[in-house]
Structures are given as structure tokens and as C-alpha cells.
Structure 1
Amino acid sequence: MVRRVEITPEAERVVETLRAQHGPLMFHQSGGCCDGSAPMCYPRGEFRVGERDILLGEVAGSPFYIGAAQFEYWSHTQLIIDVVPGRGSGFSLEAPDGVRFLTRSRVFTDDEVAGLAPLPTPEATL
């Protein structure tokens, strides 16, 4: 089964470090003017998920949400969460560590689109 969101091994290592420091985590991809392609990482429960946010799945054991408007743009792609050197948003947990999460994407094949799992319900991970 094809997953809508994946994570690179490098980004997963950063998530594990953050989890050890902050406890359970969550991600949100809003696409707002300041966020761009950077998903935000928060302690789970510190960010209020809106009724139009969509739970895409999990990365490194953490729920990953995306705003509905962003999902419309990226629904035909698999999101791949990566980490790169640099300073990201001050609100995301990795910011003080000199790295930032970055969302890359690749277009699903026709066969993959046919095999996509239904989106999970948000209540499953809150």
C-alpha cells in the first residue's frame, strides 16, 4: 500500500532526538505565507488542528496533518519529509538545532493512485 507521506532516515533521526527532548510529536503542513514547503513540528497537543486539516498519516510515529487547501494542490503527490541545514521557523521544534524540516514531493503513478489507502480519521491520533 502506498503511503501519502514518508520521511527520510536523516529526518527520522532528528524526530527521534526531538521526541527524546519533548515527548510525543506532531507535524502540520499549512502552506501559509511564512511556512512555504516547511512542515512544522510541535509537541503533540500544542498545536490545535482545525476541522479542515487532513491527517495524511504518520512519520516516525508522529501524526502528519496538512491544511485542506494545501492538500488540494498536493493530493497527487507523495510528500517526503526531509531535513536540511539552516534555520527554519522559530515555531518548529528543530529550529534551535540549526536544521529545518523540508517537504519534498513526487507525483504518484496511476497504479499508486489506485492503491492509495483512505485517509485516516484525525481522532485516531489526537
Structure 2
Amino acid sequence: MNTDTGQLRVVATDAALAFLAEIQRDYPDILFHQSGGCCDGSSPMCYPASDYRVGETDVKLGEISGVPFYISGSQHAVWAHTQLIIDVVPGRGGMFSLDNGRERRFLTRSRLFGGGEACPLPEMTRPSGST
């Protein structure tokens, strides 16, 4: 989702885009979820789209190279005034994340929106296929 000034709520570094393309060669239909939980949940997790059920309160922040990026509603409230920047660092990914075992992992960095960049919160809509 764009802010009123055209700023995207979620973006990725070139390294993250290259890593994402590598993962997509093995798993073409994927999604990201940023839950904000402890341990593995504090990193952006990458899942096969068919293996992850988007929750009723999850918010879609945007897409990275066509890959949807969701954040839990509670985390969205905390990060509402920031742009999330997805990057890659050495290390192991979350246990169930597709970056696990590749000796690199996704990492979320952030930048505060300032000077009128903050935008209205997206509507909390139920993802298609939810009950």
C-alpha cells in the first residue's frame, strides 16, 4: 500500500530481491508474514502461499516483486508510522520459513515516515477464503 506521498509501506534491498528470486525458483507461489512474536516470529517469515492461512486481523502492507507481504494487526498498530525495509543478513532463517537452511535470512529494518509522509491506516479487510 502506498502512503499519500507515494512512499511504499514495505520495500526490499537489492540483496533481498535476489534472495527472494532464488527462493522463488524452488517455491514460485509464496508470501511474507511479519508477526512480531518472539524468536523466529520477530523476523519476516516466508511461506508457500498454500501452506499459510492469513489471519482475519492480518494487514497486507504491499508486495515485494509480486509477493504479498502481511503483518499481524497488533504489529501493524506498532509499526504504522514506519516503512519496513526487507534485507538479508548471514544466518539461519526461522524454523518454518523458506529462508531456513540457506545460510542467509530475511531481516526487517525500518524507517520512520516524517513530515507528512504518514498515511491513513489501511482498512482491516478479511482475506479472501477466510471464514
Q: Taking structure 2 as the reference length, what is the TM-score of the superposition?
A: 0.85
Q: Does 1:2 align with 2:7?
A: yes
Q: Does 1:105 align with 2:73?
A: no
Q: How many residues align?
A: 122
Aligned residue identity for 1:107: L
* Stretch deviating more after TM superposition (29-38 or 102-111): 29-38
> Which residue pairs with 2:18 in the alignment?
13
Specify the SS of the correspondent of 2:11: strand
Q: Which has the higher helix share?
A: 1
For residue 45 of structure 1, report the CA deviation from its aligned partner.
2.0
1:1-126 equivalences under 5 Å are 1-114=6-119, 118=122, 122-123=127-128
CA-based RMSD: 1.8
- State the identity as a percent: 52
Q: Distance in 1 between matches of 2:66 and 2:80?
A: 22
Specify the SS of the correspondent of 2:18: helix
Contact 1:56 / 1:120 at 8 angstroms: preserved in 2? no
For residue 118 of structure 1, report the CA deviation from its aligned partner.
4.7
Q: Distance in 2 between matches of 1:14 and 1:119?
A: 30
Aligned residue identity for 1:52: T
Give structure 2 stretches of 5+ with no counterpart: 1-5
Q: Taking structure 1 as the reference length, what is the TM-score of the superposition?
A: 0.88
Give structure 1 stretches of 5+ with no counterpart: none
Q: Distance in 1 between matches of 2:68 and 2:87?
A: 16
Q: Distance in 1 between matches of 2:122 and 2:112?
A: 18
Aligned residue identity for 1:63: P
Q: Distance in 1 between matches of 2:113 and 2:93?
A: 28
Specify the SS of the correspondent of 2:116: helix
